[in-house]
Structure 1
Amino acid sequence: MIFSFHNFLQRLAGRLRANALAWVAAVLAGGCAVPLHAPGVALELPASWSEATLAAPAGQAVDAAWWHSFASAELTSLVTEALSGNPDLAAAAERVLQAEIAVRSAGATLFPAVNLNASTRRGQTREQTDQGRVSSSNDASAVALAVSYEIDLWGSNVANWQGSKASLKATRYDLAAARLSLAAGVANAYWQVLALRERLEIARRNLAIAERLFAVVEARYRYGAASALDLSRQRSTVLAARDALLPLEVQERQSLRALAILVGRVPQGFEVSARSLEDVTVPAVAPALPAELLVRRPDLAAAEARLVAAEANIAVARAALFPLKLQIGLSSAVSSAEFGLGGLANPVDTANLTLSLMQTIFDGGRLRGQVEASQSQRRVLVESWRKAVLTALKEVDDALAAVEQRRLQEAARRQIRDETARALQLSTLRYKEGSDGLTTLLDAQRSLFSAEEDLLQQRLARLSAAVDLYKALGGGWQATDADGEPAAGG
C-alpha cells in the first residue's frame, strides 16, 4: 500500500506519546538545580568622605547626562556623537551581543536535541549471464527521528547557564563603564583643545606686548635714552615670543585630531567652534555617599558579576566529580525498498531506546584540580573586587580634594594675574619716564605671561577635576533589572 509522509509523522508521534511523561520528568529533574546567588564579601565602608567640599551637599544623585551641567552645547553634541559613533564603544557593544549568544547557547543544553534524517537512494546493477545481459534495481528510502538528552543530575548545565548570564551582566556593565570613560575622555579632550587655543591667544597677546615695548625701547634708543643692549634684549624677547606660537599651533591641531578619533569622525577637516575655557561653566558636583558607590559604579558591578560567574564555574567543576552521567536516546525510523519519500511502500518500522551511564574511574586528579583552580580563581576575583572598591573610594576622595583645591587655586591665580597686569602697566610708564630700567620692564612682562599661563592651567585642571569626580561617582549610572537579560528577540 502507499504510505504517505504525513501518515508517517503521525505514527511517529503516536510512538513517542507513550514516553512523553518520562521525558517531562527528565527535563524537570535536570532543571531543578539550586540557583546561584552573588557571593557576599565583607567590606566595611566609611559613613562619609574624608575630603570636605563646598561644591555641593553630599547624598544627591548625579545626572546620567552629567556633561550637560557644563552648559556647553558643543560639548553635549560631541559626547552624543561619540556615544553613537566611537569604534571602541561599538566593539564593546558587540562583546555584549556575543555574551547574549553565549547565554542562549548555554540555555540550549537544558533541552533535548531532536534530529530528523530523511534519505532515498536508487541504484541499478547490470550483469552478463548465459541468458544475456540482466539488469536489477537496488532502491531504498528511509525517514528517521532521533531525540537525545543528558539529564542534568548534578545541576552542571544549569550552573553553566547561570554563569553565562552573570558573564553577560558583567559585559553589559563593562559597556556602561566604557560609555562613562568615553564621555569623560571627550570632555577632557575638548578642554585640552580650548586650553591650547587660549594659550595661543595668550602667546599672541604676549607677542603684541613685546612688540609694543620694542617700539618704546627703539624710540628711546633713537633719542639716546636707551642703549643698544636694551634694544637687542627686547628684540630677543620679541623673537622668542614669536617662536613660541609654532609648537602651540601644532599641539592644537594634534588635539583636534585626537578629539575627532574619540567622536568617531575623520580627523581631516574636523573643527570645533569654541575658543576659550572661560565660556564653560564649572558645575557643583554632588557626591554620593560611600555606601551608595557600590551600586553606582559599573566597573564595581562588573567585578561583582564576575564573582557570580566564578561561583558558577566552581559548581560546574564540582558536578564533574559526582558519579554517573545519564544520557537517554530515543530513535524511530521507517524504511522501504522503494525510491522516493513521497510514497513509502511496504515500510519497515524500527524503534530504539538507549540509556547510557558514564562514570569516571580514574583521571589522575584532573577533575579535582579543576575544582581547586576554579576556587582559586574565585579568591583572586574576590580580592580584585575588594581592591576595586578600595580604589573607587580613594578616587572619589582624591577627586573631591582636587575640585576644592582647584577652585581655591583658580581664585588665587586670578588675583595674581590681575596684579601682574597692573604691575606691567606701571612698569611701562616708569620705563618711559626713565624711572626704571629695561630689566624691570622685562621682568614685569614675563610675570604677566606666566600668571596668565598659570590661571589657564588652573582653569583647565578645575574642569578636569570636575570630570574626574563625575567619573569616580559613576556618572549617574544605576543597575536595572534588565541588565544581563538577552535582548528582545534574541
Structure 2
Amino acid sequence: MKIFTEALLASFIAAAVSGCTALHSSYERPELTEYAFTHGGQPAGAEKGEINPDFWLAFNDPYLTALTEEALAARNDYRQAVLTARKALKEAEITDTNMIPTVDASLGSGASRPLRHGSHSSLYGKSGISVSYEADLFGRLSAERKAQALSAEAALQDARAARLSIAGTVAKLYWSLLYYQDAIKLYRENLESSMARMKLMQLRYDSGKISELDLSESRVEVVTMLSQIQDNETKLRNTISAINVLRNRVPDTPVENRGTLEDVFLPEINPGLSGDVLRFRPDMAAQEARLRAALASKDKARLDMYPRLSLTLGVSAGGSTNIVDFFRNPAGSIAGMLAFPFLNYYQNSLRVDLAELSRDSAEVSFVYKYYNALSEVQQALNNAAWFRQQHEYERMQLDLRRKNEEMYQTRYANGKVSFKDLLEARVARRNTELAILSNKESILNSLKDLAMTMGGF
C-alpha cells in the first residue's frame, strides 16, 4: 500500500529550514556509544543502505507475501496510522504558509434617505482589499515550520512502524499455521502405527502371550494420539481465525499456504553488523524526528519573545457618492506595527522553560530507545544463531532416538524389556520429531524478529 510520496515530505522539511535561521539552535545528536554486534550477522547489503523494509519477501513465499499485502490493505490500525501521517503532512502544509501574505477583501453598498424631508435617496458603497504580512526577522516563523515538518516526519515513521508490526504478526501466525498442519500430519502417521500395534497386541493378548497391562498401554497410546490430533486441530482453527481477523474476513475462510514448514526458505545471514543499522528502524527515526521537533519548538518559544514586525497594505474605494462613482476614487494605505512580546516576560519565560523540558524529555526517550534497540538487535542475533545450532542438535538426537526405538523393539520381541519401556522410546522419538518442527518455526520467528529490529532485510 502506497502511503504517499516521500519527496513531498522532503520538500516540507526543506521549506521549513529556509529563511532566517541564524538564531536557531544547531541539532547535535546525543552522545551514543558505538557498538559492533557479535554472535550473528546481517542480510547482504545492510551496510550499504540496501535493507528492504518488506522483509517478508526474503522468505520467497508467495502465500506469505499475498497474506501480508492483504492484511496491510485491510488493517484499520495501519490505515489509521497512515491517515494520522497524512493529517500531520497537511498540518505541516498549513504551517508552511505562515510566511505567505494574508489577503482579505470586502465589498458593500447601501442607500440613505432623510426621514424629515422628502429629498432623493443617496447611494453609497465601500470596498477594500488588505494584505498582511509578518516579517520573519529572527526566524520565529521558520522555527515553527521546522517543528511541524519534523512532527510530520515522525508521523510518517510511525506509519512505517505500524506496517512492520502488522507484517510481523502475519508472518508469525502463518508459520504457526504451517507448524500445526505438520504436527497433525505427524500425529496421524503415528496414530496409524499405534492402531496397528494395538490390533497386534489384542491378538497376542487373546493368545495369552502378553499381559493385560501391555494391551492397556497400547490403548493409552492410541487415545493419546487422538487427543493430540484434536488439540492441534483446535489450535489450527484458532490460528486460521486470527489470520482472518487481520484480513477482515470471517473466521473459517480458508487460508492458502505453502503446506509445510520444511519447504520455507531461510534467508542467508552474512557476518558483520554495526550499530548504525538502527538508522533503518522507523521507530528510531520517529524518536529522533520528535527530538529535533522539540528543539525547533524550543527555538520558537524563545524567539516568541523577540520583537515582531507586521506590515499591512490596504486599498479602499467608495464613499457618500453615487454608486456609479464607486470605483472612481480608490485610496491606498500602508501600515506597520512592531510588537514587543518580551514585555510579558514572565509568561513567555515559562513557555520557554516548558519547551526546554519537552526537549530534554525527548532526548531521554531517544537515548533510552537507542540502547534498548541495540539490545533487541543483539538478542535477535543470539536467538537466530542459537536456534540454527539447536536444529542441528535435534537432528542428531532424532537419529539416535530412532536407533534406540529399533533396539527397544528388538529387545521387547525377545522379552528383555517391558512394553512400557518400548512405549517410552517411541514417545521420546515422537517428541524429538515435534521439537524439530517447533525449532524450524523458532528459526523463522527469530529471523523475523531480527528483520523487525533492523527495520527490514
Q: TM-score range by the shorter chain?
A: 0.7 to 0.9
**Contact preservation (8 Å) 1:170, 1:303:** yes
Residue 284 in structure 1 maps to residue 268 in structure 2: yes
Partner of 2:313: 330
Q: Is residue 67–residue 170 contact of structure 2 (8 Å, CA) maintained in 1?
A: yes
- 1:439/1:277 Cα in 2 relative to 1: closer, same or farther (>3 Å)? same
Helix, strand or coil at the partner of 1:247:
helix
The answer as to 2:207 corresponding to 1:207 is no
1:408 maps to a residue whose letter is: Q
CA contact (8 A) 1:314 1:371 kept: yes
Report the Cα distance in structure 2 between the residues aligned to 1:141 and 1:189, rounded to whole angstroms: 73
Alignment counterpart, residue 100 of structure 1, candidates 67, 89, 95 = 89
- 1:418 lines up with 2:402 in the alignment: no
- Does the CA contact (< 8 Å) of 2:144 and 2:300 recur in 1? yes
Q: SS of the counterpart of 1:330?
A: strand
- 1:124 CA drift (Å): 8.1
Between stretches 158-167 and 139-148, larger displacement belongs to 139-148
Larger CA deviation: 72-81 vs 51-60: 51-60
The answer to whether the 8 Å contact 1:195/1:277 transfers is yes
Correspondence for 2:101 among 108, 112, 115: 112
Given candidates 136, 152, 155, the residue that maps to 2:136 is: 152
Aligned partner of 1:382 among 360, 363, 375: 363
Note the aligned Cα RMSD (angstroms): 3.0
| Structure 2 match to 1:218 | 202
Asked if 1:90 corresponds to 2:71, the answer is no
**Residue equivalent to 2:227:** 243
User: How many positions carry a matched residue from both structures?
Assistant: 438
* Equivalent residue, structure 1, for 2:58: 69
- Alpha carbons 2:41, 2:273 under 8 Å: kept: no
1:14-413 mapped onto 2 (5 Å cutoff) = 31-34=19-22, 37-46=26-35, 48-52=36-40, 59=47, 61-121=50-110, 137=121, 139-263=123-247, 265-286=249-270, 289-322=273-306, 324-335=307-318, 344-345=325-326, 347=328, 349-360=330-341, 363=344, 365-413=346-394
Change (3 A) 1:441 1:344: farther
1:261 CA displacement:
3.3
| 8 Å CA contact 1:39, 1:311 repeated in 2 | no
Code of the residue aligned with 2:292 in structure 1: it is: V
Q: 1:416 to 1:155 in 2, by over 3 A?
A: same
Counterpart CA distance in 2 for 1:205 and 1:422 is 19
Deviates more, 1:190-199 or 1:418-427: 418-427
Q: Secondary structure at the match of 2:96?
A: helix
Indicate the SS of the match to 2:270: coil
Q: TM-score, normalised by structure 1?
A: 0.80
Structure 2: any 5+ residue segments left out of the alignment? 1-17
Deviation at 1:188, TM superposition (A): 1.7
Q: Retained in 2: the 8 A contact 1:55–1:404?
A: no
- Which SS does the other structure have where 2:336 is aligned? strand
CA gap of 1:270–1:368, structure 2 versus 1, over 3 A, is: farther
Amino acid at match of 2:335: T
**Which whole-Å deviations, capped at 9, do the CAs of 1:227-248 have from their partners, x for residues lacking one?**
2233233323322321222232
Classify the secondary structure of the residue corresponding to 1:76: helix
Residues 237-274 of structure 1: CA distance to partner in whole angstroms, max 9, x if unpaired?
Answer: 32232122223222212212222333455544141232
**Contact 1:197 1:276 (8 Å CA) reproduced:** yes
CA distance, structure 2, for counterparts of residue 57 and residue 209 of structure 1: 49
Q: CA deviation at 1:162?
A: 0.9
Indicate conservation of the 8 Å contact 1:159/1:315, yes or no: yes
Aligned to 1:3: none
Equivalent AA in structure 2 for residue 41 of structure 1:
P
Same amino acid, percent of matched pairs: 26
* Alignment TM-score, normalising by the size of structure 2: 0.85
**Which digits, 9 at most, give the CA deviation of each residue in 1:168-220, with x for residues without a partner?**
22222222323333332222221111112122222223322332221122111
Specify the SS of the correspondent of 1:333: strand
Q: Kindly tell me: are residues 472 and 308 of structure 1, through their superposed partners in 2, closer, same or farther at Cα, counting changes over 3 Å? A: same
